[in-house]
């Protein structure tokens, strides 16, 4: 029997050297949700930091797991698959929050299914779940310079830190990302898209 729990996954890389990088937008947003709902993390099989709790909004409550994979970005799917199978969570109860270079900093787009858009964490999850049909909160980080080696530029960009102006805006951006994930849980993806995709 499927669990009633939601699984909200924030993508990133573990360790202090990655903590404030663009690629860790997912971790940062999940930390914001954990702070809001007083959810504490514990280790899940060495694969993820996993927190369990309840969110309550407008008279509704939802049981949630918050997940930060410890597998490094390119193997994020191993952690998501393990938690999904262990707790029997439906695909339609999974929300993945990740950085997106195709969106300018501060923009949020929500979707389910479709292409991984070159994001290795999403590719790994698609592969491990055998499906792309889960909700995604895409957090814009802008894109790297178009000159020089595109691959190196991309890696340096996503593993780089935010500039001063972006750091100032970051708390509000993370709060918006957390709001978007909550809206998917409580109001469904379509209403959440109406609310956030037009911004």
pLDDT in tens, 116-165: 988 999 999 999 999 999 999 999 998 765 555 666 666 666 777 888 99
Query: Does residue 67 lie in a domain region?
Result: yes
Is 0.85 topped by the overall pTM?
A: yes
Q: Which domain holds residue 46?
A: 6-196
From the number of C-beta atoms within 10 Å of its C-beta (0-12, 13-18, 19+), residue 143 rates as middle
Average pLDDT over residues 62-71: 97
* CA 8 – CA 98 distance, rounded (Å): 11
Distance CA 46, CA 129 (A): 19
List the CATH number of the domain containing 119.
3.40.50.1470
The total of structural domains in the chain comes to 1
Which among 23, 44, 98, 119 is annotated as catalytic? 23
Tell me whether residue 89 is in a domain: yes
119 belongs to the catalytic site: no
- Say what the pLDDT of residue 1 is: 65
In whole angstroms, give the CA distance from residue 121 to residue 23.
10
Q: What is the pLDDT of residues 85-120, one digit of tens each?
A: 999 999 999 999 999 988 999 999 999 999 998 899
Kind and range of the H or E element at 6?
strand 6-10
In a domain, 184, yes or no: yes
Q: For residue 84, is it within any domain?
A: yes
Give the three-class secondary structure for 37: coil
Domain assignment present for 169: yes
Considering the domain boundaries, does residue 151 fall inside one?
yes
Residue 1 included in any domain: no
């Amino acid at each position: 029997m499927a669990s009633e729990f939601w699984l909200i996954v924030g993508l990133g890389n573990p360790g202090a050297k990655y903590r404030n990088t663009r690629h860790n937008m997912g971790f940062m947003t999940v930390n914001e949700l954990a702070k809001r709902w007083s959810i504490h993390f514990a280790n899940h099989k060495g694969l993820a930091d996993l927190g369990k709790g309840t969110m309550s909004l407008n008279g509704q409550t939802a049981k949630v797991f918050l997940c930060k994979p410890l597998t490094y970005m390119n193997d994020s799917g191993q952690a998501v698959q393990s938690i999904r199978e262990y707790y029997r969570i439906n695909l339609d109860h999974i929300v993945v929050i990740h950085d997106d270079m195709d969106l300018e900093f501060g923009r949020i787009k929500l979707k389910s299914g479709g292409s991984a858009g070159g994001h290795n964490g999403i590719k790994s999850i698609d592969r491990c779940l055998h499906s792309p049909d889960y909700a995604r909160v895409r957090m814009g980080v802008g894109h790297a310079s178009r000159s020089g080696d595109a691959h190196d530029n991309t890696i340096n960009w996503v593993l780089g830190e935010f500039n001063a102006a972006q750091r100032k805006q970051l708390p509000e951006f993370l709060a918006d990302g957390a709001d978007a994930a909550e809206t998917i849980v409580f109001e469904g993806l379509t209403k959440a898209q109406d609310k956030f995709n037009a911004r």
